[in-house]
């Protein structure tokens, strides 16, 4: 800028300053500093900009009068909406925006609200902003389809287990609640032929917890089964009646064939898809189910259709340990137990249905029981049992032999101290290993796959297949899949 322009600008500023009194300006008798007299302050500059800014035309002013009447009315209405969004005069900056944000947050379904919102407790800030098109509470509650929940309960000779799950991707489900407790319902059954009073009391106490869990949810389908202990006990039916009277649960005593089929359905996803044959076994507390699967023609969603032979041995970890002892097991006693179980298997007429595949590539064993999962946990050196690391683990034949030998060399106290065994299984694990070794002698395989799943997963899979939940649109399902099962 030229000197004349600077001077003219200064004079104009002085004229404006003299015409408008300034807040905090010096009195006539005071001495102003040279810089203040020749150069306007920042506050003066801001006020000049506000004063010189063109005034906004009032609603319905000349700018609107120049438009057609219909268009002018629309513009006026749009300006009115904008003023309402900005809030009334004197409102705090951002107040309208905060109000809109609270309104959007209230539109989420009840399940998506932060914890403590209903009780008035302070809640953490949401991790993501609400979507601008979030559904209203009423639409989320009444318009969205409910995800069906299914429940499966397995009361065995040693354990009481419950799973509650919802279907997800085709062939899979997500577990939303679970319960497991060692009850030893079959304790003393081999000697007396009946269920003991203390054992029934333990089982009923566990079933009462299961009943509370089931009543707390909306269950679409449920199947509650009892296996070998109730199947073989003289007072098994009376116990089932007591359970219904005291807990409200109606248990179904299933056959050995049904138990074998459910074990296959529950573990089917762990069968090697390139295998030509497999032997699946479930070492229980009072019985051991074995199924031979011929996979040379491929597999389908119902893997139980590939069963070419099956058997249920009347021996399990509880009955074998009670017969021979489980605390102090010598190598000689262990070998005696193995041969006893092996003789039972040789009495099975269909044991040779896969004789041309046994021991070769394309053939493997698949075990589901506390015995094989315990061996897997020890192999991994787990300080605490972790199903995610155990389920699906492959063990070769040398690994299994080494693990069984290690357990035989441990004292009872050392077995109790192992975190994957503990006091509940310390007197049962070697009996389970004896059953495992008998199976491996009859059907030798280069590899064994470990399954931490079984009857409950089979029950859930069969119920969901029967209801056709995986044939429905994906919007009816919840979650993205889980460690539940593949069909």
Along the 487 residues of the chain, how does pLDDT read in single tens digits?
A: 444 444 344 433 433 433 443 444 334 334 444 444 456 666 666 666 655 555 544 444 444 445 566 666 766 777 776 676 655 555 444 444 444 443 333 332 333 333 333 333 333 333 333 333 333 333 334 444 567 799 999 999 999 999 999 998 888 899 999 999 999 999 999 889 999 999 999 999 999 999 999 999 999 999 999 999 999 999 999 999 999 999 999 999 999 989 988 988 888 889 998 999 999 999 999 999 999 999 998 766 677 788 999 999 999 999 999 999 999 999 999 999 999 999 999 999 999 999 999 999 999 999 998 999 999 999 999 999 898 999 999 999 999 999 999 999 999 999 999 999 999 899 999 999 999 999 999 999 999 999 998 899 999 988 998 888 887 554 445 443 344 443 3
* H-only helix segments in 268-386: 317-324, 331-346, 370-380
For residue 452 the two structure tokens come to 């931490």
With tokens 């399940």, the residue in question is: 111
* Cβ atoms 64, 77 nearer than 8 A: no
Q: What is the pLDDT of residue 305?
A: 84
In terms of Cα–Cα distance, which of 254, 249, 257, 250 is closest to 231?
A: 254
* H-only helix segments in 172-283: 189-192, 197-215, 228-232, 236-247, 256-267
**Strand 252-253 and strand 447-451: pairing?**
unpaired
For residue 391 the two structure tokens come to 């389920």
**Strand order of the sheet with strand 363-368?**
307-313, 288-294, 277-283, 363-368, 447-451, 394-396
pTM: 0.66
In terms of Cα–Cα distance, which of 79, 81, 90 is closest to 56?
A: 79
Q: What is the pLDDT of residue 53?
A: 53
Burial 16-46 (b: 16+ CB within 10 A, else e): ebeeeeeeeeeeeeeeeeeeeeeebeeebee
For residue 113 the two structure tokens come to 């609200």
∠ Cα 451 457 460 (to 5°) = 165
Cα–Cα distance, 126 to 141 (Å, whole number):
21
Conformational region of residue 359, where left means phi above 0, alpha means psi within -120 to 50, and beta covers everything else: left
């Amino acid at each position: 800028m030229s000197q004349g322009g600077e001077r003219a600008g200064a004079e104009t500023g002085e004229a404006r300053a003299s015409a408008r009194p300034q807040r905090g300006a010096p009195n006539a008798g005071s001495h102003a500093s040279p810089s203040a007299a020749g150069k306007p302050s920042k506050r003066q500059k801001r006020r000049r900009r506000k004063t010189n800014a063109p005034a906004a035309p009032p609603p319905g002013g000349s700018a609107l009068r120049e438009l057609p009447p219909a268009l002018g009315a629309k513009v006026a209405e749009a300006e009115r909406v904008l003023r309402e969004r900005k809030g009334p005069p004197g409102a705090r900056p951002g107040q309208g925006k905060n109000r809109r944000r609270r309104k959007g947050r209230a539109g989420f379904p009840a399940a998506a609200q932060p914890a403590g919102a209903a009780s008035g407790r302070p809640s953490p800030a949401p991790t993501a902003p609400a979507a601008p098109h979030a559904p209203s509470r009423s639409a989320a509650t009444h318009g969205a389809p409910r995800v069906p929940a299914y429940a499966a309960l397995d009361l065995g000779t040693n354990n009481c287990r419950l799973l509650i799950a919802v279907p997800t991707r085709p062939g899979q489900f997500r577990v939303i609640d679970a319960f497991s407790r060692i009850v030893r319902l079959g304790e003393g059954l081999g000697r007396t032929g009946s269920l003991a009073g203390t054992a029934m009391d333990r089982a009923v106490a566990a079933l009462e917890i299961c009943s509370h869990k089931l009543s707390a949810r909306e269950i679409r389908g449920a199947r509650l089964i009892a296996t070998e202990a109730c199947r073989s006990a003289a007072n098994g039916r009376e116990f089932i009646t007591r359970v219904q009277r005291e807990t409200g649960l109606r248990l179904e005593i299933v056959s050995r064939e049904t138990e074998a089929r459910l074990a296959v359905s529950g573990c089917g996803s762990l069968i090697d898809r390139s295998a030509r044959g497999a032997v699946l076994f479930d070492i229980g507390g009072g019985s051991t189910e074995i199924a031979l699967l011929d996979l040379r023609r491929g597999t389908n969603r119902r893997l139980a259709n590939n069963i070419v032979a099956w058997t249920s041995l009347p021996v399990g970890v509880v009955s074998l340990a009670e017969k021979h002892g489980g605390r102090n097991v010598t190598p000689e006693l262990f070998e005696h137990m193995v041969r006893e179980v092996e003789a039972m298997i040789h009495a099975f007429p269909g044991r040779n249905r896969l004789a041309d595949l046994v021991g070769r590539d394309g053939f493997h064993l698949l075990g589901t029981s506390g015995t094989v999962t315990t061996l897997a946990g020890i192999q991994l050196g787990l300080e605490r049992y972790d199903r995610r690391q155990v389920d699906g683990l492959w063990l070769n034949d040398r690994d299994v032999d080494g693990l069984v030998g290690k357990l035989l060399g441990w004292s009872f106290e050392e077995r109790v101290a192992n975190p994957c065994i503990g006091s509940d299984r310390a007197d049962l694990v070697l009996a389970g290993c004896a059953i495992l070794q008998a199976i491996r002698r009859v059907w030798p395989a280069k590899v064994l796959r470990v399954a931490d799943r079984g009857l409950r997963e089979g029950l859930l899979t069969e119920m969901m297949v029967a209801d056709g939940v995986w044939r429905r649109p994906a919007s009816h399902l919840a979650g993205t899949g889980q460690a539940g099962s593949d069909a």
